[in-house]
Structures are given as structure tokens and as C-alpha cells.
Amino acid sequence: MDSPWDDLALAFSRTSMFPFFDIAHYLVSVMAVKRQPGAAALAWKNPISSWFTAMLHCFGGGILSCLLLAEPPLKFLANNTNILLASSIWYITFFCPYDLVCQGYSYLPVQLLASGMKEVTRTWKIVGGVTHANSYYKNGWIVMIAIGWARGAGGTIITNFERLVKGDWKPEGDEWLKMSYPSKVTLLGSVIFTFQHTQHLAISKHNLMFLYTIFIVATKITMMTTQTSTMTFAPFEDTLSRMLFGWQQPFSSCEKKSEAKSPSNGVGSLASKPVDVASDNVKKKHTKKNE
């Protein structure tokens, strides 16, 4: 059983996230904040607000999971080292002389490296969330999926909510409802890890972590390098939605024109949704702002 593959997966699953992967995660998150129009000016005018936004971007998933599990939402502040790390990254990103960090980050290989490492932290967060939820609810697999998802991708919900409260964003359209690519992939991962945790999936945890991480890193890097916005899930989703939700469509078009969309429109909009969702987190927010 001591194959090199197994050893590799085991060693990989025991990697500590702390210094480097966390730095990459904070860097990508803070750069996402900085890409928002007006963020740099805000940082000069009101550094506290900017810092708080950056912290929400960095720790949003943890905050959401704490809210859901009735733990103190400010628990993330107790982890001094991580806060200091994130704060220093926020500082050098916004206030570095000559904007060195930004210029370095705009170099594509650096971006690829940072995004890839950020995706690695996603796996760890999902696994942590699922395990944490399992310690509360032994049999609640819906709770496990939800907490895993919240840890991995719930940050966008928190940050959107923060922007809503600040008043610079209104959910006029359906931006709020669109699940971005990271949300979907996190949901998938959360389901998989929950099944693994409840022994429904006959695969060891470290192998699964290794495979899932490779999958999300590879898709992320492919999407970033090719600048493509077609989603990996689009064909699956299309067929799945046809199977599950398409029952009514052939009939509904003639029956209820006012209520239901016609079949081509209903499925088409779902298929074209990925086009709108840009390739990565950073870019998504950018386009959202521009709209």
C-alpha cells in the first residue's frame, strides 16, 4: 500500500497552509479589492474602511460559517498571526511606493502562481468546514455540505452584503443569484467531501484532497491562461437542467406564456449564463462593477 502515489498524496494533504498558501490567498483577495474602481482612493481617504473590506474579503467564508453555526462572527480576529499577515499584505498592496506589488502582480506567471495556491487553500477550507460541521451534527449531511460551501466560497456573499449595506451596489439584476464558477466548484467539492466523510465514497481522504486540488488548480489555470469564459460545467449543467427541470417546458410554452419562458429561452439562458460569469473571481468583480 506504500506506493509513491499514496505517499505523495499523504504528504500533500499534510502540508500546512500557514505561511505561503495563506499569503497567496490574501494577496489574491486584496488584489480583488484593489481592482474595484475607487478602492485606491478610498484607501487614502479612509484606511480603516478599506482595511475592513480587505479583511472581509480574506476571511469572509469563515465569518459566514461562524454565523451559520452560531459562533462569534469576530472569531477570525482572534487569530493574530493571520490578521497581521493579511493586514501587512493589505498595507503593501495599497501603500507600496511606486505600486511595486501591483506591477509585480500584473505579470501573468505571478498571477497564475498566486491563483493556483489560492485554490489549494480552498480545498483545505472545504475539508475543514465539513469536518467542523460534522463535529456539531453527526448525521446532518445537508449542514455539512452547507458549511463546507460557506467556508470555501461564502466570502462572496459576505462581501456582496457589505457592499449592499454600504450602498454602492443594488441587486437590480440577478447578479446575486448567479453562481460563479468558484461557487459551483466549491459546491461540488463540498458534496464530494461530505460523501467521503460519511463513508459513502470509497476513497481515502488524502487521495480525494489531492485529486480535487489538482482538478481545481488545473481548471483555474487553464481558464486564466486561455482567458476563456466557457465553463467546465456548462455541458453537464445543460443536460442536467434539461433532465431535471425541463419537464414542463414543452407544455408550458403553449399554456402559460406570461409565466414561463419558452423552452429555447429557458434553457438558452442557463447555457449562456457561463458566458457572463467571467473566468476568475477578480475579473468577475471587475465586470460586475463596469456594468
Site map (CB under 8 A) of another protein, residues 141-160, x = contact: xxx--xx-------------
- Taking CB under 8 A as the rule, does residue 235 contact another protein? no
Return phi, psi of residue 102, to 5°: -65, -40
Residue 164 or 275: the one with the smaller Cβ distance to another protein is 164
Q: What angle, rounded to 10 degrees, do the helices at 181-197 and 108-136 form?
A: 40
Q: Closest separation between CB of residue 133 and another protein, Å?
A: 8
Q: Which three three-digit cell numbers place residue 288?
A: 460586475
Q: Closest separation between CB of residue 241 and another protein, Å?
A: 7
- Taking CB under 8 A as the rule, does residue 188 contact another protein? no
Q: Name residues contacting another protein, limited to 251-290 (CB under 8 A).
A: 251-252, 255-256, 259-261, 266, 269-270, 273
Q: Which part of the chain contacts another protein (CB under 8 A), choosing from 16-24, 83-91, 114-122, 177-185?
A: 177-185
Q: Would you give the distance in Å from CA 49 to the centre of its chain?
A: 23
Q: Which three three-digit cell numbers place residue 279?
A: 473566468
Backbone dihedral region for residue 280 (phi beyond 0: left; psi -120 to 50: alpha; all else: beta): beta
Q: Closest separation between CB of residue 119 and another protein, Å?
A: 22
Do the Cβ atoms of 145 and 131 come closer than 8 Å?
no
Integer Cα distance of 39 and 62 in angstroms? 23
Binding-site member from 37, 38, 104, 171 for another protein (CB under 8 A):
171
Integer Cα distance of 111 and 104 in angstroms? 9
- Taking CB under 8 A as the rule, does residue 131 contact another protein? no
- Taking CB under 8 A as the rule, does residue 236 contact another protein? no
Alpha helix segments (H runs only) across 106-233: 108-136, 141-153, 155-166, 181-197, 205-226
- Taking CB under 8 A as the rule, does residue 39 contact another protein? no
Site map (CB under 8 A) of another protein, residues 51-80, x = contact: ----------------xxxx----------
- Taking CB under 8 A as the rule, does residue 44 contact another protein? no
H or E element: which one contains 54?
helix 47-68
Closest CA to 25 of 86, 80, 107, 92: 86
Interface residues toward another protein, by CB under 8 A? 67-70, 136-137, 139-143, 146-147, 164, 170-179, 241, 244-245, 247-249, 251-252, 255-256, 259-261, 266, 269-270, 273
